Chain A
Amino acid sequence: GENVEQHPSTLSVQEGDSAVIKCTYSDSASNYFPWYKQELGKRPQLIIDIRSNVGEKKDQRIAVTLNKTAKHFSLHITETQPEDSAVYFCAASKVTGGGNKLTFGTGTQLKVEL
């Protein structure tokens, strides 16, 4: 089955700096990669996703890059703000087949300091 690794497990940045979280996956058939943000005690919220037919996607301060050959993808947050502090999970899935199950990474605790 799919295995997703995520690094770092914790990340502390100063407000205004950029934050990068990296994930690798094992199943070359995976073709859908969402990122979720989970604030303490709350539900995971989808913040951005990418399909394997593109290499990069951007939404305001958030961007995701995908390298299919190396089987890794990254989340980039620019101009970080205190409200970006949360746990971020990457995930991998097949759009079709495999039951569309999401395999999650282990999470990254991001802390944005003033």
Chain B
Amino acid sequence: GAVVSQHPSWVICKSGTSVKIECRSLDFQATTMFWYRQFPKQSLMLMATSNEGSKATYEQGVEKDKFLINHASLTLSTLTVTSAHPEDSSFYICSARMTVLAKNIQYFGAGTRLSVL
């Protein structure tokens, strides 16, 4: 299958600082990537759809000024958690979409565990 790299895998930061998470499609081009948040033992909640060369589409309830998304190339999307607070601590996972046989398959990164002190 396709490979999606996510970095960093774990980050600890102080409250009020910003954290950038990178999501790269290593062996295919992805015009669309997705950012999810996952709480322990819960499902993946879509935060936003990242579109190459245009603004991200945010899900209802997700603050776009808090979670900045940039998709400047066909292989890279970044999520910046601005002015992070303890309640932002979570597991963030990205996925990249590949079209295979008319199916839009999402391949996931390994996730980033964010801990805000």
Contact = CB atoms under 8 A, between A and B. Distances in A.
Interface of A: 32, 34, 36, 42-46, 49, 51, 89, 93, 95, 99-107, 109
Chain B interface SS verdict (over half): strand
Given A36-B108, A105-B43, 9 more contacts: A32-B104, A34-B106, A43-B108, A43-B109, A43-B110, A44-B93, A44-B108, A45-B1, A107-B42
A95 B97 contact: no
Given A95-B102, A101-B49, A46 B42 contact: no
B103 A101 contact: no
Given A100-B97, A101-B34, A93 B104 contact: yes
A99 B81 CA distance: 23
A89 B44 contact: yes
A83 B105 CA distance: 24
5 contacts: A32-B104, A44-B108, A46-B105, A100-B104, A104-B43
Interface residues of B, number: 24
Contact of A44 (B41, B44, B97, B104): B44
Contacts of A51: 103
Contacts of A43: 4, 93, 108-111
Contacts of A89: 43-44
A36 B36 CA distance: 14
Given A100-B97, A106-B42, A106-B43, A45 B108 contact: yes
A99 B105 contact: no
Nearest to A46: B105
B68 interface: no
Contacts of A95: 102-104
Contacts of B110: 42-43
Contacts of A100: 32, 97, 104
